[in-house]
Structure 1
Amino acid sequence: MWAQIINVILGLWIMASPDLLGFADPTAADNNHIVGPLIVTFAFTALWEATRSVGKWNLALGAWLLIAPWILSFEDRSALINDMVIGAIVVALSFIKGKITQHFGGGWSALFKNNPEHVEKARELS
């Protein structure tokens, strides 16, 4: 859970950094204004046990922050360093798994099973 909270803060930083650091490159600023809210959304959603797996999407966004300066040809050195550092941290925090103590019905794969685990547990309880 703590890793997702840090990712929320990093996503907010990514959104604010173009203005706070004074990015001269509008492409870098636009990139951060798009990626930042996505990082916040996935990290915030992953705070709860039932949706913990959503946090894995930040792995791709962190990787994008690592390669975006070269693909988008950032002209601003502060934008390049900022995105590289934050991207590396987001990637590292995406590998930290939160503790899951409850069972939540088996996910989407349960729809395609003949006797899903959550149906069996419901029968046992009734």
Structure 2
Amino acid sequence: MWAQIVNVVIGIWIMASPGILNYPTPAAADNNHIVGPLIVTFAFTAIWEATRTVGKWNIPLGLWLIIAPWILDFEDNTEIVGEMAAGIVVTALAMVKGKIEQRFGGGWSSLFSKHPEHKKALEKGK
């Protein structure tokens, strides 16, 4: 959970950094205004245990942040270093596994199982 909270903060920074650091490259600012909210959304959704796997969607976004300065021709070193550093941290934190304490449902295969997890949980509660 802590890794996802840090990714939320980094995503907010990615959104705000073009205005705070006065990025001279419009492509860099546009990129940050698109990728930042996606990182925040995926990380915030992944805070809860039932939706933890959504945090893995930040891996391609982090990798994009690492290569974007070269594809979009960023002009300033501040833009390049900031983007790549954020990409490395987002990618690394998206790979952190959270603690799983409960199982939720068992998916579609539980419908065809003789003793699915959700029925076992109901029987324990009786």
TM-score by length of 1: 0.90
RMSD of aligned alpha carbons: 1.6
Following the alignment from structure 1 to structure 2, what is the Cα–Cα distance between the partners of residues 122 and 102? 11
2:24 match: secondary structure: coil
- Equivalent residue number for residue 123 of structure 2: 124
- Equivalent residue number for residue 111 of structure 1: 108
CA shift, 1:43, in A, is 0.5
* CA displacement 1:38-79 (0-9 Å, x = unmatched): 000000001100001100011111001001111111122211
Following the alignment from structure 2 to structure 1, what is the Cα–Cα distance between the partners of residues 62 and 108? 31
Q: How many pairs were matched up?
A: 123
- Equivalent residue number for residue 28 of structure 2: 28
2:74 match: secondary structure: coil
Question: What amino acid sits opposite 2:108 in the alignment?
Answer: L
- Equivalent residue number for residue 90 of structure 1: 90
Question: What amino acid sits opposite 1:88 in the alignment?
Answer: I
Following the alignment from structure 2 to structure 1, what is the Cα–Cα distance between the partners of residues 77 and 121? 57
CA shift, 1:118, in A, is 3.4
Alignment pair present for 1:15 and 2:15: yes
Following the alignment from structure 1 to structure 2, what is the Cα–Cα distance between the partners of residues 123 and 9? 39
Pair 123,48 (structure 1): closer, same or farther in 2 beyond 3 Å: closer
Following the alignment from structure 1 to structure 2, what is the Cα–Cα distance between the partners of residues 79 and 48? 32
CA shift, 1:119, in A, is 4.5
4+ residue segments displaced more than 2 Å: 116-126
1:15 match: secondary structure: helix
